[in-house]
Amino acid sequence: MANENTVALIEKKAAEMRRHVIEMGYVAGGRGAHFGPALSSIEIVAGLFFGVMNHDPKNPTMADRDRFVQSKGHACLSYYAALAETGYINKEQMYTFKGDGSFLSGHPSRNMKYGIEISSGSLGNGFAIACGMAKAAKIKGEQHKVYCLVGDGECNEGIIWEAAMNAAKNQLNNIVTIVDRNGVQLAGKTTEIMDVNLEAFWKAAGWDVLVVKSGNDASSVLEALEAMRDSKSGKPHVIIAETTKGKGISFMEGSLSWHARPMEKEFYEQAVSELEELS
């Protein structure tokens, strides 16, 4: 069972991160932001940064740090929100999101000083890099873990399965991948775009698979992350976390229209109001 104090911390940080997502997305103005996929993955990212990962904001390049790769780079607001809450970036920097000259672009751009491990956004590419990082760690005898966040729509990409099969062949038990299964991608519901059994696919590729039915529940997510971190299966690990698109904001939940768009003032005020009611 997950530690209650750690769960409480993750829940607290997740609430703050949701507010950061709304603030950053609103500041982006007409440039828009990917609200839906960021909000669905909040508990996953919070669980990693505040529950299981070995990392140090004061020493972002320490050799034995666990690596985090956000392959679904369009959901970067959840990543940046975590970086703000952990102290890799400050609030002033956070509010430059998508601004001219900002290092917080619409997809993560590698910047180790601020805890951004790799550039991502071309779907599937980040996952392949994460598998390469895990393989490199094995070759060098390093003990850190690689954690990678991918989207369910992203799993349509062929590069995902090429890298997944290679990871199984090389017994990369030092990688934990989390699929943010929110059921909605850019052009519609995942079941309408390409209806596949993700659990069966990952098992067929040779991975250790764990399905979490409550992917927005901090306790369930933490238990799954700890189980895969400590697993002795000898296989690469994947958690399929069933989440809600736009989780936490009523008019965004399950909505395709809020996958990516600008946020007008009226919606910003409603979102802030809803989050304040929950705090």
SS (H, E, C) 15-67: HHHHHHHHHHHHHCHHHCECHHHHHHCHHHHHHHHHHHCCCCCCCCCCCCCCE
Look up the domain containing 264 and give its range. 4-278
Q: Give the single-character DSSP code of 114.
A: G
pLDDT class of 56 with cuts at 50, 70, 90:
very high
> At a CB cut-off of 8 Å and minimum separation 6, what does 260 contact?
32, 33, 34, 35, 36, 74, 186
**Model confidence pLDDT, tens digit, residues 182-208:** 999 999 999 999 999 999 999 999 999
CB 174 within 8 A of CB 137: yes
Q: What is the pTM of this model?
A: 0.97
pLDDT class of 210 with cuts at 50, 70, 90:
very high
Q: Give the single-character DSSP code of 240.
A: E
Half-sphere exposure at residue 167, Cβ-oriented, CA atoms within 13 angstroms: 35
Number of domains in the chain: 1
CA 17 from chain centre, in angstroms, equals 12
**Model confidence pLDDT, tens digit, residues 6-17:** 999 999 999 999
pLDDT class of 1 with cuts at 50, 70, 90:
confident
Structure tokens of 207?
């991975």
**Model confidence pLDDT, tens digit, residues 141-176:** 999 999 999 999 999 999 999 999 999 999 999 999
Q: What is the mean pLDDT of the chain?
A: 97
CATH number of the structural domain spanning residue 62: 3.40.50.970
User: Does the pLDDT value for residue 253 go beyond 90?
Assistant: yes
